[in-house]
Amino acid sequence: MSRTGKKPVALDGANVSIDGQKVTAKGAKGELSVNLIDVVTAELTDEGVVISPVDDSSFARASWGTFRSLVQNIVIGVTKGYEKKLAISGVGYRAALQGNDLKLALGFSHDVIYKAPDGIKLTVPAPTEIIVSGIDKQQVGQAAANIRSYRPPEPYKGKGVRYADEYIYRKEGKKK
């Protein structure tokens, strides 16, 4: 039995509708939907959205908690939204907004221009900080990972783009 799957998804001010295998959530920040597979069902109760497996197959039990988490992610996304913070460290490394695009100076011979996908908002409160925000958790995480991939942090000096809460394991340099 899935411990995660047993819990109902609290609505928290979101308007959720279920149409067959499609669960749609509308909230203050926008609208998202997720399509469920045939081995799980969703129903709307007083406590929230309850996801349950159709049968007792191992695939249905494995999918149960996953789809409950996906439904919870869309409900949280349309009510609160998601954000990832990135930190840049290194001499001369900095970020700036150029319209909707992010201009990164990361030690290359040219500046890297990152075009924000639809639904993603980029903010740069300081030249060494980037905040990626949006309502789709997967899209926010992917955009942050794409920005980080231009110059991942290296283990000797820690230079590069990292998540704000990421710990970089530091190595000792060469010895004489």
3-class secondary structure, 144: helix
Domain 3-79 sits in which CATH superfamily?
A: Ribosomal protein L6 (3.90.930.12)
Q: Which amino acid is at 175?
A: K
| Domain residue limits, the chain | 3-79, 82-163
Residues 6 or more apart from 112 whose CB is under 8 A from it? 103, 104, 105, 106, 150
Residues 6 or more apart from 32 whose CB is under 8 A from it? 24, 25, 74, 77, 78, 135, 136
What confidence tier does 2 reach under pLDDT thresholds 50, 70, 90?
low
Q: How far apart are CA 169 and CA 105, in angstroms?
A: 24
pLDDT digits (tens, 9 = 90+) for 109-153: 999 999 999 999 999 999 999 999 999 999 999 999 999 999 999
Give the pTM.
0.90
pLDDT digits (tens, 9 = 90+) for 90-120: 999 999 999 989 999 999 999 999 999 999 9
pLDDT digits (tens, 9 = 90+) for 24-68: 999 999 999 999 999 999 999 999 999 999 998 999 988 999 999
| Multiple choice CATH, 82-163, 3.40.50.2000, 1.10.620.20, 3.90.930.12, 3.30.390.50 | 3.90.930.12
Q: How far apart are CA 118 and CA 134, in angstroms?
A: 9
Instruction: Output DSSP code: residue 61.
Output: H
- Residue 6 pLDDT exceeds 90: no
